[in-house]
């Protein structure tokens, strides 16, 4: 492993991002239930990290033991430092939950109740809930050494119950059982079992809520489902003694991909991937820290896990389930004030979207401005008799997607509808398979992405017959066509009737749907063919201008910066004296502020109530400022293995607004973190008497002010109602 690297390890950088999210849960200025929400997010993030990144590293360790990452570390070395960092993170999570957030919530009469300390009234209520709602639903699973080990659901919560038989104990023996994750029933594993004891599992499932409400004199009291079940677990095993009942769950490797070179039917291949994930190797087991050595060893051996894969948890397992508590009614003071999305004054509800876009380009900043115009754009197209065709990429959508419903309606009305539905969108595969089937049944021309690539671009364009001829209306975005996540993710929408962008959108969609090589684009650029080269040329242009004594400046807002070639180009620009400001929400493998390498590069990360998701790029470009939006982060997968778009925003008003949005983010001194030359992040604090700037609040207030100013402008202009008779004279 190299002593000093020009790059930060991507796994450790991601864990530092999750730590910044966790730090928000420790931030006293954040309302209590919002702190609990941040805790839940860190737990959900960590689950996905184990499923994808740890799973991938384990596969790399098996297949390419000597291969190294850009920092010079092998997969084994990365796993070692990753586990060490995760241990500290779990400690911080539960230190925050048990010793900070929960005591503060208890002081507000919002309390988790242990069955051991419950009042008689609370225990009676818990017993009634158990008898009426839990016991009839749950069923124990016997763990018999003569039968295959039960198939445990990924991230499913279980009780492991150790039981004492009533028969006289016999001498311990070595028994065999089938490997949990194998389809070969002839492969045994050995474990020492005392005949006087046995194990059983109770899957808690998802049919019963994790939160069990209990009576309280004031405020809100609750118990966790596993605590209630454990308190009365003996009811499941009459005639047996319960020695212990401990909570556990496993995490399976989800880094399973379809072999497209051998799958004639991609949909069938993806359905096979979903099946394989259910059987994939376990990469982690979490158990209550009071679990006995006997229970720990039994589960570890059955799941074929190393001791390092066992995590003993000092509090409730799966803090992500606490998210359901954060919207509890009656505790508004413990949450952020509501920021309802604003109706942009740029979109006139009295006009069609086509009339509005024909007048001028429209730029929306979600979730501060409503996502409704995007939905209306597709819905109006479905119902407009002059619309001939709708073409759209769908990567992730909502469960009850109005956009999908509109596409189906359009096809049923005879319009030519093409939808690229990316079946390989990780963890949304099942939903996208169902959407693809239903769209096909409605008559939509469905394309299941491209072989060997993921289609991640965000584009929809509509072809409409108008008196002056055929017109194309485009929507380009940085986020998914998902009206639910659009209320939580900060993204950009750009509507335009620009002829060149419309022609490019047509070429782009034809290349995807027609197995053809894309023609040269006029304005946009697409991965994996030309986007990387375009970005490198833009950076090099700033570098050369600086070397010639001209002003040069780059500002980028991305989710992740990982690609070594792109990082090296930024290092080269920095060495030439180009001032570079980067707003990178998550992974950043670039080392900032290092003398002789990156002293002209500043990196900040913003963690606030909305997930920063927009990709905005600015290049000074010799004074002819160039601003672009993109679906792509600067990672090898986005630039080389995905279909992505880079779209210039040339409309003057829209371009100025994007520059203002970028500047707002770089002024944040409330929820922004700066990456230091020591590779650590420090929260930015206001200097001296400088004003406090919270970028998300500024952007929301800007949206509110725009609505107020538009309303005031209407009041300042008198528009008399004239009689119909006068108009007919």
Using 50, 70 and 90 to split pLDDT, how confident is the model at 567? very high
- How far apart CA 418 and CA 13 sit, in angstroms, is 39
Give the model's pLDDT for residue 434. 80
Residue 465's DSSP bridge partners are 470
Using 50, 70 and 90 to split pLDDT, how confident is the model at 517? low
Using 50, 70 and 90 to split pLDDT, how confident is the model at 719? low
Residues 6+ apart with CB under 8 A from 465: 386, 387, 388, 471
Query: What Rg value do the Cα atoms of the chain yield, rounded?
Result: 29
Q: Poorest-confidence range of 53-67, 175-189, 674-688?
A: 175-189
Tokens of 723: 């009689």
- How far apart CA 448 and CA 454 sit, in angstroms, is 10
Average pLDDT, the chain: 89
pLDDT at 640 over 70: yes
Residue whose C-alpha is closest to residue 624's, from 551, 557, 556:
551
251 and 282 Cβ atoms separated by less than 8 Å: yes
- How far apart CA 399 and CA 656 sit, in angstroms, is 35
Using 50, 70 and 90 to split pLDDT, how confident is the model at 3? low
DSSP assignment of 200-252 equals EEEE-TTTS-SEEEE--SSSEEEEEHHHHHHHTGGGGSTTSEEEEEEEEEEEE
Told to judge if 456 belongs to the known catalytic residues of this protein, a careful annotator would answer yes
342 and 370 Cβ atoms separated by less than 8 Å: yes
Q: What is the mean pLDDT of residues 54-65?
A: 86
Q: What is the mean pLDDT of residues 21-44?
A: 97
Using 50, 70 and 90 to split pLDDT, how confident is the model at 279? low
Q: How many CA atoms lie within 13 A of 84 on its CB side?
A: 7
Which residues in 178-209 are b (16+ Cβ under 10 Å) and which e? bbbbbeeeeeebeeebeebbbbbbbbbeeebe
**For the chain, what percent of residues have pLDDT higher than 90?**
76
Q: How many CA atoms lie within 13 A of 407 on its CB side?
A: 30
* Catalytically annotated residue among 178, 366, 456, 475: 456
**Length in residues, the chain:** 729
Domains of the chain as residue ranges with CATH: 124-305 (3.30.1840.10), 353-523 (3.30.870.10), 526-712 (3.30.870.10)
Give the model's pLDDT for residue 246. 96
Residue 471's DSSP bridge partners are 464
Q: Tell me the per-residue pLDDT of 520-564, one tens digit each, with 9 for 90 and over.
A: 899 999 999 999 999 999 999 999 999 999 999 999 999 999 999
pLDDT at 145 over 90: no
Other C-beta atoms closer than 10 Å to the C-beta of 376 total: 18
Q: Tell me the per-residue pLDDT of 302-356, one tens digit each, with 9 for 90 and over.
A: 999 999 999 999 999 999 999 999 988 889 999 999 999 999 999 999 999 999 9
Query: Strands 241-252 and 158-164, how do they pair?
Result: antiparallel
CA dihedral 305, 310, 316, 321 (to 10 degrees): -50
pLDDT at 1 over 50: no
Residue 20, classed as helix, strand or coil, is helix
H or E element that contains 581: strand 579-584
């Amino acid at each position: 492993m190299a002593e000093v690297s020009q790059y930060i390890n991507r796994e450790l950088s991601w864990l530092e991002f999750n730590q910044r999210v966790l730090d928000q849960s420790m931030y006293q200025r954040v309302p209590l239930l919002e702190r609990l929400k941040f805790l839940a997010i860190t737990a959900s993030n960590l689950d996905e990290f184990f499923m994808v990144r740890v799973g991938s590293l384990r596969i790399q360790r098996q297949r390419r033991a000597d291969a190294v990452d850009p920092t010079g570390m092998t997969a084994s070395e990365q796993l070692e430092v990753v586990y060490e960092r995760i241990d500290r993170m779990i400690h911080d999570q539960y230190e925050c939950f048990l010793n900070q957030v929960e005591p503060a919530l208890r002081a507000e009469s919002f309390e988790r109740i242990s069955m051991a300390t419950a009042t008689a009234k609370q225990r009676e209520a818990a017993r009634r809930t158990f008898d009426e709602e839990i016991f009839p639903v749950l069923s124990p699973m016997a763990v018999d050494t003569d039968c295959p080990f039960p198939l445990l659901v990924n991230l499913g919560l279980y009780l492991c119950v150790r039981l004492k038989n009533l028969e006289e104990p016999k001498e311990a023996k070595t028994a065999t059982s089938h490997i949990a994750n194998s389809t070969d029933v002839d492969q045994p594993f050995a474990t020492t079992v005392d005949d006087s004891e046995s194990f059983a599992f109770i899957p808690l499932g998802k049919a019963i809520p994790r939160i069990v409400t209990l009576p309280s004199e004031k405020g809100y009291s609750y118990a966790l489902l596993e605590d209630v079940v454990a308190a009365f677990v003996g009811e499941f095993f009459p005639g047996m003694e319960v020695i212990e009942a401990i909570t556990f769950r496993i995490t399976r490797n989800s880094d399973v991909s379809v072999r497209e070179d051998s799958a004639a039917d991609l949909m069938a291949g993806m359905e096979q991937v979903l099946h394989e994930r259910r059987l994939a190797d376990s990469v982690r087991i979490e158990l209550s820290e009071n679990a006995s050595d006997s229970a720990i060893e039994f589960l570890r051996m059955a799941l074929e896990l190393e001791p390092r894969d066992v995590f003993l948890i000092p509090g409730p397992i799966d803090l992500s389930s606490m998210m359901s508590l954060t919207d509890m009614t009656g505790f508004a003071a413990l949450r952020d004030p509501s920021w309802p999305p604003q109706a942009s004054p740029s979109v006139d509800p009295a006009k069609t979207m086509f009339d509005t876009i024909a007048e001028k380009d429209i730029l929306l900043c979600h979730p501060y401005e409503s996502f409704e115009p995007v939905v209306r754009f597709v819905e109006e197209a479905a119902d407009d008799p002059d619309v001939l065709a709708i073409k759209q990429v769908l990567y992730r959508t909502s469960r009850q997607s109005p956009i999908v419903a509109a596409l189906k309606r359009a096809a049923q009305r005879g319009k030519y509808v093409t939808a690229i539905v990316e079946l390989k969108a990780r963890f949304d595969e099942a939903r996208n398979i169902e959407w693809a089937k239903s769209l096909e049944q409605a008559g939509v021309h469905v394309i299941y992405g491209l072989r060997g690539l993921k289609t991640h671009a965000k584009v929809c364009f509509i072809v409409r017959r108008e008196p002056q001829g055929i017109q194309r209306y485009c929507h380009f975005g940085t986020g998914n066509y998902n009206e639910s996540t659009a209320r939580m993710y900060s993204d950009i929408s750009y509507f335009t009737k620009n002829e060149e962008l419309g022609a490019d959108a047509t070429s782009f969609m034809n290349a995807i749907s027609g197995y053809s090589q894309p023609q040269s684009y006029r304005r946009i650029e697409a991965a994996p063919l030309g986007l990387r080269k375009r970005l490198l040329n833009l950076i090099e242009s700033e570098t050369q201008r600086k070397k010639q004594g001209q002003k040069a400046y780059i500002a980028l807002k991305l989710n992740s910066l990982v690609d070594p070639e792109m990082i090296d180009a930024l290092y080269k620009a920095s060495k030439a004296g180009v001032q570079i400001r980067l707003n990178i929400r998550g992974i950043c493998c670039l080392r900032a502020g290092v003398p002789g390498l990156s002293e002209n590069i500043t990196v900040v990360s913003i963690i606030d109530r909305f997930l920063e998701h927009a990709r905005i790029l600015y290049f000074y470009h010799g004074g002819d400022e160039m601003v672009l939006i993109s679906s792509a982060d600067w990672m090898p997968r986005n630039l080389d293995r995905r279909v992505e778009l880079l779209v210039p925003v040339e409309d003057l008003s829209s371009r100025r607004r994007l520059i203002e949005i970028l500047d707002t983010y770089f002024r944040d001194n409330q929820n922004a973190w700066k990456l230091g030359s020591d590779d650590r992040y420090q929260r930015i604090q206001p200097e001296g008497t400088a004003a406090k700037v919270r970028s998300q609040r500024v952007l929301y207030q800007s949206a509110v002010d725009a609505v107020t100013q538009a309303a005031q402008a209407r009041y300042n202009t008198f528009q008399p109602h004239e009689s119909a008779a006068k108009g007919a004279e």
